[in-house]
Amino acid sequence: MPLALYALTAGAFGIGVTEFVIMGLLLNVSASFGVSIATAGLLISGYALGVVVGAPVLTVLTGRWPRKTVLIVLMAIFTLGNAACALAPSYGLLMAARVLTALAHGTFFGVGSVVATGLVAPNKKASAVAVMFTGLTVANILGVPLGTWIGQQLGWRATFWAVALVGLVALAIIAVLVPKDSQAPEEMDWRADLRAILRAPVLLGLLMTVLGYAGVFAVFTYIAPMLIEISGFAPAAVSPILLVFGGGLVVGNLLGGRLADRNLLGAIFASLAALAVILAMMTPGLHMQILAIALVGLLGAAGFATVAPLQIWVISKATGAGQSLASSFNIAAFNLGNALGAWAGGAVIGYGPGLRFVPLAAALFPAAAILVAVVASQNRRAAVV
């Protein structure tokens, strides 16, 4: 893989840290501003909303810019947003800074995915996307625990200063290593690009992304209470077990990229089926501690094995300059899946059969995604005929 690809990985690492580290700092932030933990938790929702809105909007606004310039500007927004978080004197301004930071998220991964596929041979495109997304997985394994520790030792503001520094470093690496566009960017007609995205194969790919990730986050959002209340682990054991989840993310991400390079549709079916089976197994499996740990790791692997195949599907089904917009929409779809899954898991706990049945209910989402994949494959065959 070319060195420039790892510059994109560095940017993905910084973005991954700033998205997820707030989960470990909610108590600190709520105490600092005198708000409830639930109110502090809205900082996560606000960020997700910023991604959903920012991904298509910024992609359209920067559509005529050279892609390298877009990436540099996005990392600048990311860096300034984290500095603003560190300086925020009130909860409202912290929320605004979080939303500002999130605006760069979807477009970075969307445009970055297109740049990554252009850096490698056609039979390595999915692996290239997977390498870029490795930054996101490593952020969960190393960056988030380290950022949480910094926040606990030096105050939550120190964490955001540290992430802003990561953003500066990533910006410099991208500026040096990512090559300039080989040709002038195509004239962007956002209406035409939007029409391209409204094609059935692209919409089906976006729906698969939403459903697949809804299954992952229906469980992952509530993984700590599951491990404590169902598996019987002590609270101190949760963090080490989540490292197993993070290791699964890395393995699944790279494996999904390799499989997609060989057979894209097959990789989509295989990863979604594996995710559905693992989620279904968790309802009985969480009652056995060793099996619970293994299933947490497998959940991470199966969940992220879907990322590169689905991203490549959406990019490949869009046309021309619309690939960047479609890619960004797919990042927004991942975040919609996060929100849908968290809501669905909460509904099962609050209004349904309870916490231990959340994984079984979550398995319905990737199962539904498989049905969508069947429709997509039939649509593809019809198009060929």
Tens digit of pLDDT for each residue in 128-139?
887 887 887 788
Report the C-alpha gap between 116 and 129 in whole angstroms: 6
Q: How confident is the model at residue 371 (pLDDT cuts 50, 70, 90)?
A: very high
Predicted local confidence at residue 308, as pLDDT: 84
Q: Which domain holds residue 179?
A: 1-184
CA distance 295 to 272: 15
Task: Clarify whether residues 114 and 212 are in a common domain.
Answer: no
Averaged pLDDT, 285-312:
91
What pLDDT score does 79 carry? 93
Do 135 and 9 lie in one domain? The reply is: yes
Q: Are residues 200 and 216 in the same domain?
A: yes
For residues 114 and 234, membership in a common domain is answered with no
The answer for residues whose C-beta is within 8 angstroms of residue 32's C-beta and 6 or more apart is: 156
pLDDT band (50, 70, 90) for residue 289: very high
Residues 96, 98: Cα–Cα separation, whole Å: 5
Q: Give the CA distances from residue 359 to residues 25, 81, 215, 269, 288, in Å, rounded to whole numbers and listed in that order.
A: 26, 35, 8, 20, 15
Residue 301 CB contacts under 8 Å (≥ 6 apart), including other chains: 248, 249, 251, 252, 255
Domain boundary among 184, 211, 234: 184
**Burial of 202: CB neighbours in 10 Å, binned 0-12, 13-18, 19+:** buried
Shortest CA distance to 107 belongs to which of 51, 66, 183, 190?
51
Residue/partner pairs of 372-379 with CB below 8 Å, 24 or more apart? 372/204, 372/207, 372/208, 372/211, 373/204, 373/208, 373/265, 373/268, 373/269, 373/272, 375/204, 376/200, 376/201, 376/204, 376/205, 376/208, 376/265, 376/313, 377/265, 379/200, 379/201, 379/204
Residues 6 and 134 in one domain: yes
The pair of three-digit structure tokens given for residue 175, joined into one six-digit string: 């500026």
Q: Is residue 193 predicted with pLDDT exceeding 70? A: no
12 and 150 co-located in one domain: yes
Mean pLDDT for the stretch of residues 31-35 = 88
Q: CA-to-CA distance for 285 and 379, rounded, in angstroms? A: 37
Which alpha helices (DSSP H) does 67-189 contain, by range?
A: 67-87, 91-118, 125-138, 144-154, 156-177
Please check whether residues 106 and 126 belong to one and the same domain. yes
The CATH number of residue 227's host domain is 1.20.1250.20
Confidence of residue 385 (pLDDT cuts 50, 70, 90): very low
**What are the backbone dihedrals phi and psi of residue 70, each rounded to the nearest 5 degrees, phi first?**
-60, -45
Same domain, 103 and 41: yes
Domain check: are 230 and 371 in the same one?
Answer: yes
Distances (CA, A) of 69 to 174, 178, 179, 323: 10, 10, 10, 17
Query: How many Å apart are CA 315 and CA 288, to the nearest integer?
Result: 41
Q: Is the separation of the CB atoms in 314 and 202 below 8 Å?
A: yes
Contact (CB, 8 A) for 332 and 106: yes
Last residue of a domain, one of 167, 184, 201: 184
Q: What is the pLDDT of residue 210?
A: 93
- Number of domains the chain contains: 2
Which amino acid type is present at position 300? G
Using the structure block, give the residue that is written with the tokens 């035409």: 192
Q: Would you call 111 exposed, middle or buried from its count of C-beta atoms within 10 A (0-12, 13-18, 19+)?
A: buried
Q: Which of 8-17, 40-49, 292-301 has the lowest mean pLDDT?
A: 40-49
Rounded Cα distance between 132 and 177, Å, is 14
| Residue finishing a domain among 119, 152, 184 | 184
CA 39/CA 22 separation, integer angstroms: 13
Same domain, 91 and 201: no
Residue 266 has pLDDT above 80, yes or no: yes
Between 368 and 62, residue with greater pLDDT: 368
Percent of the chain clearing pLDDT 70 (strictly above): 92
How far apart CA 57 and CA 193 sit, in angstroms, is: 13
Are residues 197 and 180 part of one domain? no
| pLDDT at 383 exceeding the cut of 60 | no
Structure tokens belonging to residue 9: 């990985």
Residues 165 and 219 in one domain: no
User: Which span out of 38-52, 71-85, 113-127, 167-181 was modeled with the highest average pLDDT?
Assistant: 71-85
Q: Cβ–Cβ contacts within 10 Å for residue 65, how many?
A: 16
